[in-house]
Structure 1
Amino acid sequence: MAGEGFSWLLRGDLLGLSLAFGREMGVETLLHRMGADPTTVALRGQDADLNPDGYPSYREELGDLSYEEDGYVVRAGVYGDWAWAWEETSWQCVADAELIKRVSSGTVALTIFHNLDGSTALAYAEDGVVITVLDTLRDPLLRGVGGSDPERFRTFLPAVDDGFDDPLAMILTFVEQHFGAGIREADLMRHPVWSARLIPT
């Protein structure tokens, strides 16, 4: 379905991406584990025009910060079994090596990172232990480069040079198909959305 999963992200020019996912947890739990300032966690409407239910306005309360490198603003929601958090301009999902461990406590977690330079990374953790890290800066072919079981996904992921020349598209497709994680375009862009400001490490 259009606007589901990650397909909508791949239709345009995506400059950067910093995402965290935690399975079978509420959004507030995910934000807490990511280190959000609890005084900033709230369900907010996108703006006054798209906010008929009287939620606080995301654009008025956090909108200006979302364009600043040190703003540490995240929007968050739920897709299937997964809570997700989208970092606007920060990259705590990779800058804070402990984040994925905290998020995965008692469950599993994923982080996806894509930078302006084209580097792409995926990390997967179970119950506080990083299992697999894929990173095009360390291995352009996305063979495992870290974690307790670096090769965990080799049977599921085709090599980048085996017909998949876009690592980000490959990772997003894999995460959506293998784990059932994603983000609805409307949940990020139009519907009321959970948001907060992270406390940087």
Structure 2
Amino acid sequence: MARILLLVMSMFALSLGAGGAWAQLTVDAYRVEATVANQSEAERVAATKANLGEVITRVLGDSAALQHPLVRQAINDAPNYLAKFSYSSDKTIVLNYSPQAIQTLLQQAQLIAASASTAQGLTLYIVDVKDFSAFKQVQAYLKTVGVIRNANLVSVEKDVMQFSILLDGDEQLLKTTLAAGNKLQVVSDKPLSFRWQN
């Protein structure tokens, strides 16, 4: 009897241990490991574009969304949807896409319902905007950045544009996303300022 009880208790303990291990095997839908030829910017951008569709498919559970015009545009602008990236080896990149940016994209495309989450408002300065062409490029670029829900131009003074922006995420996520896009370089945190690199 004692042996049977010991056997039952052992099996129970094993099942608890297995359950704990199973719980740790959760998949991060926004994380992808991809093979790259090298660690160049071109390879990173290509990997980011090649894998954003997979992430969107995982999040929605349906690949039909990849035909939506806003989603196709987002895939072209995929670096704007990265929260961070790293390399686990010389030829393996780890891409962590921004859940907030992707959720915002899917809401804008009306593929998911808008959430009641509160967005964060910030003032953003873009400096070194030399001419009207750059002025238009900055405005167009900010519309492609996934974490920015809305960007309103407040003023233009010499080569500085001031925007009032609404974020899906926080200031750090915005800085990381903009740095990954290679169009803007951080100049200052207070006030939040970026240099336009055209």
TM-score relative to the length of structure 2:
0.25
Which structure would you say has the larger RCO, counting Cα contacts within 8 Å and 6 or more residues apart?
1
Give the structure with higher Rg (CA): 2
TM-score relative to the length of structure 1:
0.25
